[in-house]
Structure 1
Amino acid sequence: MNRIDATFQKLQEQGRKALIPFVTAGDAGLDTTEQLVLQLEASGADIIELGVPFSDPIAEGPVIQEASVRSLENGTKLVDIFDLVKRLREKTQVPLLLMLYINSIFGFGTERFFQLCAESGVDGVIVPDLPYEEQDEIQEAADRAGVYSISMVAPTSQERIAMIASAAKGFLYCVSSTGVTGMRKEFTTDFDAFFHTIRQSAHIPCAVGFGLSGPEQAKAISAYCDGVIVGSAIVKLVAESGKDCVEPVGHFTASLRKALDS
């Protein structure tokens, strides 16, 4: 069983929500990223997303764009991230996802990419610029490797939601609002209507991401879904503290976990 499935099954049995933090791999250095992943898990994270730095991250807001720039300036390469995952697998079995853009996969070689995902211990990938209708570009290679390609739906997906949700694996990534990633003070999305449509077709867990900025928002959004994804708020802490970010990120993550469990 894929670690993602096993994690959601365990959480469902416990009546708990998944906490899924995001960090950009190589931001503040890969050694720091390794420490962060272990601290995130210790602070209550259930699944962890590692962002692969890219020169033109079109789905990202300024906070994650700047993290990508810092990571690239540190010399982070995809092969280094695979090595990082291998090291982490000696210490943890927490599900790990790579979030990256399709050109990073094509440039690396699709078959080789998914083979290394499997060999290193990556459980799934999120490719925000790959439309559902073009999933066959990577799906066969992902399936052969036993790696989930996580599907995304947004409020603007409308009639496409049923098609996307019915074929999704692992969990369905539900984008909270239109636009790019980044912390938001409030959401204009009608979550009742959005999730009414999603629940008619989705047979797997659903997690909401894009814009969640703190414990209160995470708790409120969790009423609609099976998990919450928090990225920019954590990446901002990394930007502020650099290599000293592990402790503040741990405290923030623990506050999210406490809110979800309350």
Structure 2
Amino acid sequence: MNKLKKVFNNKENSIVSIYFSAGFPNLDSTSKIIKSLTANGADFIEVGIPFSDPLADGPTIQESGSIALKNGMNLSILFDQLNEIKDFNTVPLVMMGYWNSILQFGVERFLISCKSVGIAGAILPDLPLEVYDREYKVLFEKHEIPFIFLISPQTSEERIKKIDQLSNGFIYAVSSSSTTGNKNGIESAEPYLKRIQSYQLKNPIVTGFNIKTKKDVEFASQFTDGVVIGSAFINAIKKNASLEENISEFMSEYK
């Protein structure tokens, strides 16, 4: 069974996933962050692939990605880093990035590399559903890497149900149509989250964007299976204490 499915099948409380930009704050931070998040109760971890033009990301994640690129992070280095921890990492890792990075690296090379280091899924927001279904679905399934689709308040019921049919991991419910880390509260997404809940989809749903506090986690988890926290986490690891101390303090609020 895929590691992600085990997490959702065995969950007793809300799933809390953390996003970070690989290569931030330092080039060698990736394994330290994953180890510390694992030790502090993250249910799964989204490893962000830094990209020069991250259209879906707000200022905090854009800045962290820009710093990661300046630090020298790229997919080859990232896979080398993940390879070093694959034998003892116990928390599912999901790769999140932009399609152009994958095309430049090579799609099948990317999928082979993902499988070799134990990646449990891939989120590529700018690869259209129709293109994935027509051209790449067979490749992703061949290498057993679930493709995680995003839905938003503007996504129609018909499209959401098609995504549910194509999915084999979870569905990422973007809580607003703006970028990550904006100032709108998660409560404004209630009608949308209730609408998704009413569809009774076969795949788990995870809410992302605008999740900052424990209250936000509790609110979103009334309607979906869990949350992704990104910008708030990246802000937390900028603090002056050690990376491990910052992560321990941050996670203590949620788990």
TM-score normalised per structure 1: 0.91
**RMSD (CA atoms):** 1.7
User: Which residue number corresponds to residue 251 of structure 1?
Assistant: 249
2:238 aligned partner, one-letter code: A
Q: What is the aligned counterpart of 2:40 among 31, 34, 43?
A: 43
- Say if 2:155 is the partner of 1:147: no
Distance in 2 between residues matched to 1:22 and 1:190, nearest whole Å: 20
Cα distance, 1:183 vs structure 2: 4.8
8 Å contact 2:186–2:216 — kept in the other structure? no
Matched residue, 1:16: 13
Are 1:97 and 1:124, in contact at CA under 8 Å, matched by a contact in 2?
A: yes
Q: For 1:172 and 1:120, locate their aligned partners in 2 and report how far apart those are by CA, in whole Å.
A: 23
Supply the AA of the counterpart residue of 1:112. R
Q: Distance in 1 between matches of 2:52 and 2:192?
A: 36
Structure 1 SS opposite 2:155: helix
Question: 1:59 corresponds to which residue?
Answer: 56
Corresponding residue number in structure 2 for 1:207: 206
Letter in 2 for 1:143: E
Query: What's 2:155 paired with?
Result: 157
- What is aligned with 2:67? 70
- TM-score between the two structures when normalised by the length of structure 2: 0.93
Cross-structure match for 1:83: 80
Q: Which moved more, 1:80-89 or 1:108-117?
A: 80-89
Any stretches of 5+ residues in structure 1 without a counterpart? 258-262
What is the CA distance between 1:103 and its match in structure 2? 0.5
What displacement does 1:197 show?
3.8
Q: Residue 199 of structure 2 aligns to which amino acid in structure 1?
A: Q
Q: Percent identity?
A: 33
Cα distance in 2 for residues equivalent to 1:167 and 1:203:
11
Query: Is the contact between residue 186 and residue 220 of structure 2 (CA under 8 Å) also seen in structure 1?
Result: no
Specify the alignment match of 1:166 in structure 2. 165
* Cα offsets for 1:108-141 (capped at 9, x unmatched): 1111110111111111110011222221343221
Cα distance, 1:192 vs structure 2? 4.0
Q: Is the 8 A contact 1:180 1:210 kept in 2?
A: yes
* Alignment partner, residue 98 of structure 2: 101
Q: Which of residues 30, 34, 41 in structure 2 aligns to 1:33? A: 30
Q: Judge conservation of contact 1:3–1:95 (CA < 8 Å) in 2.
A: yes
Q: Comparing 47-56 with 150-159, which one deviates more in the overlay?
A: 150-159
Letter in 1 for 2:7: T
- Between Structure 1 and Structure 2, the one with more helix by share is 1
**Which structure 2 residue ranges, 5 or more long, are not aligned?**
none
Where 1:157 maps in the other structure, the secondary structure is: coil
Counterpart amino acid of residue 134 in structure 1: V
Letter in 2 for 1:108: F
- The one-letter code of the counterpart of 1:101 is Y
Could you tell me which amino acid in structure 2 is paired with residue 87 of structure 1? E
On the 8 A contact 2:186/2:211 being kept in 1, the answer is no
AA aligned to 1:245 is L
SS in 1 for 2:253: helix
CA contact (8 A) 1:155 1:189 kept: no
What is the CA-CA distance between 1:83 and the residue it aligns to? 1.4
Distance verdict in 2 for CA 1:198–1:221, change over 3 Å? closer
CA 1:50–1:193 in 2, change beyond 3 Å: closer, same or farther?
A: closer
Counterpart-to-counterpart distance in 1, 2:59 and 2:192: 29
Equivalent position amino acid for 1:9 in 2: N
**Secondary structure in structure 1 of the residue aligned to 2:13:** coil
